Amino acid sequence: MDLETLLFSQGFGSRRQCRGMIAEGRLSIGGEARTDPHADIPLTPPPEFDVDGARWMYREKAYIALNKPAGYECSRDPQHHLSVFHLLPPQLAERGVQSVGRLDQDTTGLLLLSDDGAFVHTYTSPKKKVPKVYLATVRHPLDDAQLAKLRDGVLLHGESKPSAALAAERRDDHSLELTVLEGKYHQVKRMVAAAGNRVEKLHRERMGGYALPDSLAEGAWRWLDEADLAALREK
């Protein structure tokens, strides 16, 4: 791959902009400025390169985990709040990264993003049945009848079939751990309301076998590696 295509593929701007950046000496590899946009670079192993002093690694596709804070919308074109894309380097939006499903603006926790259309589709589709684990803080003390309703299934407004949680456990009187397979609009809030309680705070802790890492601060993001993607596929 030539150096212009390398930067272009990783979201550094139009081909013309990438050519310009290289000509200005802003790209270096192994500590050496590289100013010929047509020079070739092998892709195996994936090359590391610096742009304006920041280190990047070539990635054919981007797979990202974000610890979403409250007050951010998952849309790129948000209506009332900032977009989660404000928390990511602009290169990621430029290369077409999108969120894998959506969390409400007031929901926190694990949000995946990718520019791999098949991956986004797979993990958004209800058919894939990826377990998603949420921690909900609820207004009223939890009781066994509510937990049983969540496990047995509650009929949500506008739905013809009940929605059941794969698991519903009390962590304490006001904390509920809920595992759901689908990703319907406001699903957890609607299920908890239908079971007779109310979600005051919602946090996604896990998707498949991939848990939000403790080391990932609120608002921070990280690349997912092969082991993370394999964990995600676990049920």
Residues catalogued as catalytic: 104
Ramachandran bin of 186, using left for φ above 0, alpha for ψ from -120 to 50, beta for the remaining angles: left
When the beta carbons of 87 and 103 are compared against ligand URA, the nearer one is 103
Q: Which range in 32-40, 64-72, 182-190, 213-221 contacts ligand URA by CB under 6 A?
A: 182-190
Q: Report the nearest approach of ligand URA to the CB of residue 169 (Å).
A: 17
The answer to whether 73 and 98 are in contact (CB under 8 A) is no
Q: Report the nearest approach of ligand URA to the CB of residue 132 (Å).
A: 7
Rounded CA-CA distance 231/207 in Å is 9
When the beta carbons of 3 and 176 are compared against ligand URA, the nearer one is 176
Q: Is 171 in the site for ligand URA (CB under 6 A)?
A: no
When the beta carbons of 92 and 156 are compared against ligand URA, the nearer one is 156
Rounded CA-CA distance 222/206 in Å is 15
Q: Which range in 15-23, 90-98, 100-108, 218-226 contacts ligand URA by CB under 6 A?
A: 100-108
**3-class secondary structure, 91:** helix
Q: Which range in 102-110, 116-124, 138-146, 167-175 contacts ligand URA by CB under 6 A?
A: 102-110
Q: Is 103 in the site for ligand URA (CB under 6 A)?
A: yes
Q: Report the nearest approach of ligand URA to the CB of residue 31 (Å).
A: 44
Rounded CA-CA distance 49/95 in Å is 17
Q: How far is CA 217 from CA 29, 210, 220, in A?
A: 30, 16, 5
| DSSP letter (8 states) at residue 61 | S
Q: Which residues contact 128 (CB under 8 A, 6 or more apart)?
A: 122
Contact mark string toward ligand URA, 188..207, x via CB under 6 A: xx------------x-----
Rounded CA-CA distance 163/29 in Å is 53
Q: Report the nearest approach of ligand URA to the CB of residue 78 (Å).
A: 15
The answer to whether 76 and 100 are in contact (CB under 8 A) is no
Binder among 10, 67, 98, 107 for ligand URA (CB under 6 A): 107
Give residues in contact with ligand URA (CB under 6 A): 103-104, 107, 186-189, 202
